[in-house]
Structure formats: C-alpha cells, structure tokens
C-alpha cells in the first residue's frame, strides 16, 4: 500500500473529481457521527461494567443470606426438603419479561421479573413444621433471584455492547485509515492529472497563436524591405534622369533657357530635397 498507488481506479476527469470530493465529505461526516456513537456507547459500556462489578458483589452477599435462610429451613423442617421440592416443581411462578432500551441506535434488552398469580407449587411445603421459615426462605430467594435477574440484564447489555462497540470502532478506523486517505489520494491524483492537462493545453494554445504571428512577422519584414528597395531604386532612377537632363541642358546651352530654367528650378529643388532625404 504505497501512498501514491493507493487510490481508486477512476479516470481523471472533472466529474470524478466532483464525485470524489462528495465521497470525501460523506466519509468525514460519517466518521464524525460514528465516532460520536462509539463514544456514547463506550460511556454506557463503562457505566455498565461498573454496575456489573457492584452487582456481582451484591449477588455474593444476597446468596449468602439466602443460603443461611435455607439452612434455617432445613433445621426447622428437620430433614432435607430438596427432593420434595424438586419433585413438586411444575410451573414457574417467577418469570421474565424483556424490554428494550435504545442507546444510540443499539437495542439493549433488559430483563424484568414478574410473578404469575395463582400457581403455587409449594403450598404443602412446610405444612407440618417450619412453615414460617419456608415462607421467609422463599422471600429471601425471590429477592436473590431479582438481584440475579438485574445482573443478567447488565451482563446481556455488556455482551451486546461489547460486540457493537467493536463493530463501530472497526468502522471508525476503516474510514479514518483507509477510506479517507484513499479518497484524498484519488483527489490529489485527479488534480495533478488535470493540472498536467491544463499545462499541455496552455502550451498547445501558445503554439497555435505563435504560428500565425511568426508568419505575419516574416511577411511584414519582407514587405518593408521590398518597399525600401523600391523607394531607393525609384530615387536613384529619378536622380539619374535629372542628372542626365541637366547635362543635356548644359550641353545644349540653347534657346529655350527660360523653359529649361523653369523646368530645372523645381526639379532641382525636388532633387535637393530628395538628396537631403537620402543623405539623412
């Protein structure tokens, strides 16, 4: 389980990024809820274990008293009544009822004892002698059994809670140490992949926009160069023509001086200007 490899098999798309983010959020909510549940159950669990400890001690005392009262009966009746009682047991007078208690979603059963009316298996017990002791003994044992029933409820709750707490803690740990890191890894992976794609896309776009610019740039420079060349050529030709014309005029030295002057004047001016320009 290396950090980078431990992620879910998803395609790095924006949709799965959204899904993963929702999943992470859900996992975090579930984690906090389960954690709270586990804490509530543990609190209850500790309370129950404390009460079990107390109840066990109490049971020891109660059973001792009950045994003593049974010894009294044996003494009073003057013989062992065990066999007689075992044989006459028919229908339970002392019965259980279960009710439930809800502790953060866990149903904890609790036993409740009740006495049925009308059936008494031991009506004849102790009829001869020791009836009073038998009666007292029955009461003592009834109290003892009530204590035992209470203890049994606690114990059942203990067993169930123990199991439930284990399951809940396992879930909490699974979410905390497996699901959340894996989802985070997946999100990281998707993000890095998306970033990579973005960079690629940006680079591609740059390439695309650079290409026509280059073309245009090249064309422009060529155009500018051409124009200059043309201008220079034109100027040269003009100057050449003017010079020739001047030479011709000087050679002729002839009649239409004014006309030549008139034409030469502006031409000269223009030529001078042009010359200046070129020199510049």
Partner 1 sequence: MTSQADYKDRQFLAVIGDEDSVTGLLLAGIGHVTAPPDSQKNFLVVDGKTDTATIEEAFERFTTERKDIGIVLINQHIADRIRHRVDTYTAAFPAVLEIPSKDHPYDPEKDSVLRRVRRLFGE
Q: Which residues bind partner 1 (CB under 8 A)?
A: 49, 52-53, 56-57, 59-60, 63-64, 66-67, 69-71, 80-82, 85-86, 89-98, 100, 107, 109, 111, 115, 121-122, 125, 134, 137-138, 141-142, 144-145, 148-149, 151-153, 155-156, 158-160, 162-163
Q: Is residue 182 within 8 Å of residue 8, measured between CB atoms?
A: yes
Q: Is residue 77 within 8 Å of residue 122, measured between CB atoms?
A: no
Rounded distance, CA 112 to CA 101, Å?
12
CB of 163 to partner 1, least distance (A): 8
Q: Residue 164 or 271: which CB sits closer to partner 1? A: 164
Q: Is residue 139 within 8 Å of residue 58, measured between CB atoms?
A: no
CB of 129 to partner 1, least distance (A): 16
Q: Is residue 158 within 8 Å of residue 48, measured between CB atoms?
A: yes
Q: Residue 148 or 235: which CB sits closer to partner 1? A: 148
Q: Residue 85 or 194: which CB sits closer to partner 1? A: 85
Q: Is the dihedral of CA 268, 270, 273, 277 positive or negative?
A: negative
CB of 150 to partner 1, least distance (A): 11
CB of 51 to partner 1, least distance (A): 11
Rounded distance, CA 102 to CA 201, Å?
58
Q: Residue 13 or 91: which CB sits closer to partner 1? A: 91
Q: Residue 77 or 175: which CB sits closer to partner 1? A: 77
Query: H or E element: which one contains 181?
Result: helix 180-252
Q: Residue 35 or 138: which CB sits closer to partner 1? A: 138
Rounded distance, CA 126 to CA 135, Å?
9
Q: Is residue 191 within 8 Å of residue 198, measured between CB atoms?
A: no
CB of 174 to partner 1, least distance (A): 19
Burial profile 96-107: b = 16 or more Cβ within 10 angstroms, e = fewer:
eeeeeeebeebe
CB of 144 to partner 1, least distance (A): 7
């Amino acid at each position: 389980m290396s950090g980078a490899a431990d992620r879910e098999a998803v395609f790095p798309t924006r949709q799965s990024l959204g899904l993963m983010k929702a999943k992470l959020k859900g996992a975090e909510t579930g984690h906090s809820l389960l954690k709270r549940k586990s804490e509530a159950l543990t609190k209850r669990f500790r309370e129950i274990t404390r009460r079990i400890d107390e109840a066990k001690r109490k049971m020891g005392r109660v059973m001792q008293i009950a045994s003593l009262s049974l010894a009294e009966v044996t003494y009073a009746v003057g013989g062992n009544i065990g066999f007689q009682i075992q044989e006459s047991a028919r229908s339970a007078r002392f019965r259980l009822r279960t009710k439930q208690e809800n502790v953060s979603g866990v149903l904890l059963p609790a036993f409740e004892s009740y006495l049925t009316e009308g059936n008494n298996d031991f009506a004849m017990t102790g009829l001869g002698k020791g009836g009073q002791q038998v009666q007292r003994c029955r009461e003592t044992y009834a109290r003892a059994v009530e204590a035992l029933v209470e203890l049994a409820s606690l114990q059942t709750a203990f067993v169930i809670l123990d199991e439930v707490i284990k399951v809940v803690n396992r879930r909490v740990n699974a979410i905390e140490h497996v699901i959340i890191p894996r989802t985070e890894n997946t999100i990281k992976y998707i993000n890095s992949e998306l970033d990579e794609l973005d960079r690629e896309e940006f680079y591609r776009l740059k390439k695309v926009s650079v290409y026509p610019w280059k073309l245009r740039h090249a064309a422009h420079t060529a155009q500018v160069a051409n124009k200059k060349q043309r201008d220079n050529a034109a100027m040269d030709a003009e100057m050449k023509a003017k010079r020739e014309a001047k030479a011709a005029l000087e050679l002729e030295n002839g009649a239409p001086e004014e006309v030549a002057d008139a034409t030469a004047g502006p031409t000269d001016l223009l030529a001078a200007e042009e010359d200046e320009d070129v020199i510049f």
